């Protein structure tokens, strides 16, 4: 039998991948944190020289994003990540008590399957691989259809480096035949311990996979509120730069701008100054006509394209230095197509009378399509910031910073991570930035400790006795305990 159908080939590959990864994990369990850290050191230094070529290949295959930005992202992200990983212990003995007794042990989970996104493939593949190795797991990279080639190239480089540095064969895997049947097989396989889905919602929403710990980290539709106390020039520039970076491909890029009424005109003119182009009604109609395939689906050719390209493709022209296209809306239309997940430099602009209305609007925006995991605010009023933070259904809120970068831990207090937990989008069990520790479980060691409270012995109450008397007695006794 020479010929095997595509779906079966994919299923066969899936089985072999999971079994190899499982077997490699048996060996990997013998590696301590230092052994793993050595692999990471080597991988982080040896992969650098390959990055420009890999990014070229990624852009050639996906035709999305901006090379200069992608390289800049590597430059900013990797040193912070390296610092973080260097000073971190996630497996083995993590904590001792004051008597030098072991209290907590970090343990790897096993085989981690990673569903890669269609954008920033190399950086996502590298990040997922690094946190998997850091936490002693084996990893299977599952590319999206039509991006197999770039992941294959990445894999061949990484597998080589990892094997050279002593990682067991099969510890890093990559799927070549990505038919749905095979992907489902990987996800449902009993030896797959954890699934990390980086922005491929269909594997959640179609209910194809079952009862497995799953982490989801997709693209959010981030609303940003500019309050009247904000540094408006900085805020306007920050939003435009953040939204347009890599043509809008970062997972928490801003999608909605809400400006407080008293400063709305200033915000608009400062945004224009920074490279925003406010669309006329007819231009907006043209853009919508070309951007959407149907009500809810964006034309994939428009993903990661520049503002000028989007305009040209829609049949109108904008100044050459335009970085983002802005649609101003008086209120939220129920059928507003701009509330869909948009991975290109388009913003919707609303004017709100005050921060409380902005609060309401943000909640509505985040709930309409349930796409949101991140929120941003520009303000110098700590009380407003605090109030604003309390009620929104998001996993993180960025204060006075560009959401694209702050959310992933660049120049921000948030943990460095490219995978932004999407619990608030209704998927996965993690809302925070996903880090190596999330790919482990912790074993707690319990020691005996005398109870502080005194306990009262209650004699066995036989069934024959009068129950109501029992009740009174026991209630008294229990009350006594509770009142102590």
Interacting residues with a second copy between 389 and 448 (CB under 8 A): 389-401, 406-407, 410-414, 423-424, 426-429, 431-433, 441-448
CB 317, min distance to a second copy, A? 23
Q: Which stretch binds a second copy (CB under 8 A): 73-81, 224-232, 239-247, 292-300?
A: 73-81
**φ/ψ of residue 406, rounded to 5:** -60, -40
Under the criterion CB under 8 A, does residue 363 sit at the interface with a second copy? no
State which of positions 7-36 bind a second copy (CB under 8 A): 29
**Residue from 27, 105, 233, 288 in contact with a second copy (CB under 8 A):** 105
Choose between 81 and 279: whose C-beta lies nearer to a second copy.
Answer: 81
Under the criterion CB under 8 A, does residue 190 sit at the interface with a second copy? yes
CB 54, min distance to a second copy, A? 10
447 token code pair: 């020691």
Q: Which stretch binds a second copy (CB under 8 A): 79-87, 134-142, 220-228, 273-281?
A: 79-87
Give the integer Cα–Cα distance in Å for 402 and 205: 30
Helices within 63-147 (DSSP H only): 67-86, 121-134
Cα torsion at 307, 308, 314, 315 (round to 10°)?
A: 160
Distances, alpha carbon 450 to alpha carbons 11, 64, 98, 277, 455, in Å: 55, 62, 17, 68, 12
Q: Which stretch binds a second copy (CB under 8 A): 158-166, 173-181, 276-284, 459-467?
A: 459-467
- Contacts of 71-74 spanning 24+ positions with Cβ under 8 A: 73/120, 73/123, 73/245, 73/246, 73/250, 74/123
CB 153, min distance to a second copy, A? 14
State which of positions 209-248 bind a second copy (CB under 8 A): 209-211, 213-214
Q: Which stretch binds a second copy (CB under 8 A): 75-83, 116-124, 138-146, 159-167?
A: 75-83
State which of positions 191-210 bind a second copy (CB under 8 A): 204, 207, 209-210
**Residue from 19, 82, 231, 266 in contact with a second copy (CB under 8 A):** 82
Choose between 23 and 176: whose C-beta lies nearer to a second copy.
Answer: 23
Q: Which stretch binds a second copy (CB under 8 A): 123-131, 305-313, 318-326, 457-465?
A: 457-465
How many Cα atoms within 13 Å fall on the side-chain side of residue 7? 3
Distances, alpha carbon 206 to alpha carbons 197, 200, 210, 294, in Å: 13, 11, 11, 19
388 token code pair: 């604003």
Strands 254-260 and 292-294: unpaired
Under the criterion CB under 8 A, does residue 453 sit at the interface with a second copy? yes
- The alpha carbon of 472 is separated from its chain's Cα centroid by a whole number of angstroms, namely 55
CB 254, min distance to a second copy, A? 14
**Residue from 34, 49, 294, 335 in contact with a second copy (CB under 8 A):** 49
Neighbours of 86 (CB within 10 A): 11
> What is the chain's Cα-based Rg?
26
Give the integer Cα–Cα distance in Å for 385 and 211: 38
Under the criterion CB under 8 A, does residue 89 sit at the interface with a second copy? no
Size, binding site for a second copy by CB under 8 A: 104
How many Cα atoms within 13 Å fall on the side-chain side of residue 16? 11
**Residue from 56, 285, 296, 354 in contact with a second copy (CB under 8 A):** 56
**Residue from 6, 26, 45, 360 in contact with a second copy (CB under 8 A):** 45
State which of positions 283-342 bind a second copy (CB under 8 A): none
Q: Which stretch binds a second copy (CB under 8 A): 68-76, 162-170, 293-301, 329-337?
A: 68-76
Choose between 79 and 353: whose C-beta lies nearer to a second copy.
Answer: 79
346 token code pair: 């388009």
Cβ-contact 121, 146 below 8 angstroms? no
β-pair partners for 133: none
CB 356, min distance to a second copy, A? 15
Strands 374-378 and 297-298: unpaired
Choose between 170 and 421: whose C-beta lies nearer to a second copy.
Answer: 421
Choose between 330 and 446: whose C-beta lies nearer to a second copy.
Answer: 446
- Contacts of 186-190 spanning 24+ positions with Cβ under 8 A: 186/14, 186/17, 186/18, 186/113, 186/140, 186/142, 187/113, 187/212, 188/212, 189/14, 189/15, 189/18, 189/111
Cβ-contact 239, 257 below 8 angstroms? yes
State which of positions 254-273 bind a second copy (CB under 8 A): none
Choose between 315 and 426: whose C-beta lies nearer to a second copy.
Answer: 426
CB 272, min distance to a second copy, A? 24
State which of positions 336-355 bind a second copy (CB under 8 A): none
CB 72, min distance to a second copy, A? 6
The DSSP 8-state label assigned to residue 420 in this structure reads B
CB 192, min distance to a second copy, A? 11
């Amino acid at each position: 039998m020479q010929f095997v159908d595509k779906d079966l080939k994919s299923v066969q590959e899936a089985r072999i991948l999971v079994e190899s990864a499982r077997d490699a994990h048996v060996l990997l369990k013998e590696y301590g944190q230092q052994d793993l850290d050595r692999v990471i050191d080597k991988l982080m230094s040896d992969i650098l020289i390959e990055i420009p070529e890999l990014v070229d290949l990624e852009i050639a295959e996906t035709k999305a994003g901006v090379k200069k930005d992608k390289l800049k992202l590597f430059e900013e992200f990797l040193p912070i990540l390296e610092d973080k990983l260097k000073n971190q212990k996630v497996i083995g003995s993590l904590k001792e008590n004051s008597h030098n007794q072991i209290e907590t042990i970090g343990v790897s989970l096993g085989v981690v399957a990673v569903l890669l996104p269609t954008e920033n493939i190399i950086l996502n593949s590298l990040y997922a691989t690094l946190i998997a190795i850091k936490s002693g797991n084996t990893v299977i990279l599952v590319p999206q259809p039509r991006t197999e080639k770039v992941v294959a190239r990445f894999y061949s480089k990484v597998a080589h480096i990892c094997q050279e540095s002593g990682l067991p064969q099969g510890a890093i895997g990559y799927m070549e035949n990505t038919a749905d049947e095979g992907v489902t097989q990987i996800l449902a396989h009993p030896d797959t311990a954890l699934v990390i889905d980086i922005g491929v919602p269909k594997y959640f929403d179609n209910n194809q996979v079952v009862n497995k710990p799953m982490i989801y980290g997709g693209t959010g539709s981030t609303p940003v509120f500019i309050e009247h106390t904000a540094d408006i020039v900085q805020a306007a520039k920050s939003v435009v730069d953040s939204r347009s970076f890599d043509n809008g491909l970062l997972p928490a890029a801003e999608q909605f701008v809400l400006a407080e009424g008293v400063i709305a005109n200033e915000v608009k003119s400062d945004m224009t100054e920074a490279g925003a182009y406010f669309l006329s009604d007819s231009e907006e109609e043209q853009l919508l006509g070309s951007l959407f395939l149907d009500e809810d689906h964006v034309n994939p050719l428009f993903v990661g394209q520049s503002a000028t390209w989007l305009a040209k493709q829609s049949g109108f022209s904008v100044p050459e230095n335009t970085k983002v296209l802005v649609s101003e809306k008086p209120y939220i239309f129920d059928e507003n197509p701009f509330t869909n997940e948009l991975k290109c430099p388009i913003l919707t602009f609303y004017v709100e009378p005050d921060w409380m209305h902005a609060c309401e609007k943000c909640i509505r925006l985040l709930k309409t399509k349930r796409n949101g995991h991140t929120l941003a605010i520009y303000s110098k009023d700590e009380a407003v910031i605090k109030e604003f933070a309390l009620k929104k259904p998001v996993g993180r809120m960025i204060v006075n910073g560009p959401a694209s970068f702050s959310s992933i831990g660049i120049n921000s207090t948030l943990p460095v991570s490219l995978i932004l937990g999407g619990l608030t989008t209704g998927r996965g069990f993690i809302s925070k930035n996903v880090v190596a520790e999330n790919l482990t479980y912790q074993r707690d060691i319990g020691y005996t400790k005398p109870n502080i409270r005194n306990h009262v012995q209650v004699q066995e109450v036989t069934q024959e006795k009068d129950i109501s008397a029992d009740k009174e007695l026991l209630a008294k006794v229990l009350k006594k305990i509770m009142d102590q």
